Amino acid sequence: MKKLKEKAKKGFSLIELMVVIAIIAVLAAIALPLYMGYICKTQANESLNALRETKYTWAMLRSVTEFDHPDNHYGSADELMQTMSIQLPSRNWDYFGHNITADNVDVHVTAIGPNLKACLTNPPLEYDYRVFHGSGEDKGVIFSVINSTDERFMPNLND
């Protein structure tokens, strides 16, 4: 009689397996949206990190000439990279220089890449990376993010 009871106790019942599967499903339902949010933030930071790496180049350009010097053309990513001798990740991002004055350049960045998640491309994430040559107490080159279309992935900030 004992042998029959021992054989019956091996393994899990169907109810126990269903409870475990339900717990895993709930955990996945919570974790997946958080994971997708982190992926979108990481992809959004690709262009900002590339622009941050150009700070020294912007400072050198401003120390040599004013931003709106006739030789400075920033109509596209290619022109911006060629003029400043920098490399920007243009595979997923479009860069356009505008609002150019002697002390100010706004680089408008738009998410366009097919490799980006839908959270960044529909509608497209857009922001302006402002490079400003300050005076007085704010002397030096100042960088900031303004006019972000989605603060979840690209908050407005000052570097």
**119 or 22: whose pLDDT is higher?**
22
Mean pLDDT of the chain: 81
pLDDT band at 34 (very low <50, low <70, confident <90, very high): very high
- Looking at the chain, the whole-number percentage of residues with pLDDT higher than 90 is 23
The string of DSSP letters for 60-78 reads HHHHHS-TT-TT---SSHH
pLDDT for 95 equals 85
pLDDT for 90 equals 76
- pLDDT digit string (tens) for 53-110? 877 777 777 666 666 666 666 666 677 777 666 777 778 888 888 777 777 888 889 9
Handedness of CA 72, 76, 78, 80 (dihedral sign): positive
pLDDT band at 126 (very low <50, low <70, confident <90, very high): very high
Mean pLDDT for the stretch of residues 154-158? 83
pLDDT band at 125 (very low <50, low <70, confident <90, very high): very high
- Alpha helices, H only, 9-156: 14-52, 55-64, 77-84, 118-121
pLDDT for 157 equals 79
124-151 in b/e burial notation, b at 16+ Cβ within 10 A?
Answer: bbbbbbbbbbeeeeeeebebebeebebe
Structure tokens that stand for 118 in this block = 């839908």
CATH domain 14-158 topology: Glycoprotein, Type 4 Pilin (3.30.700)
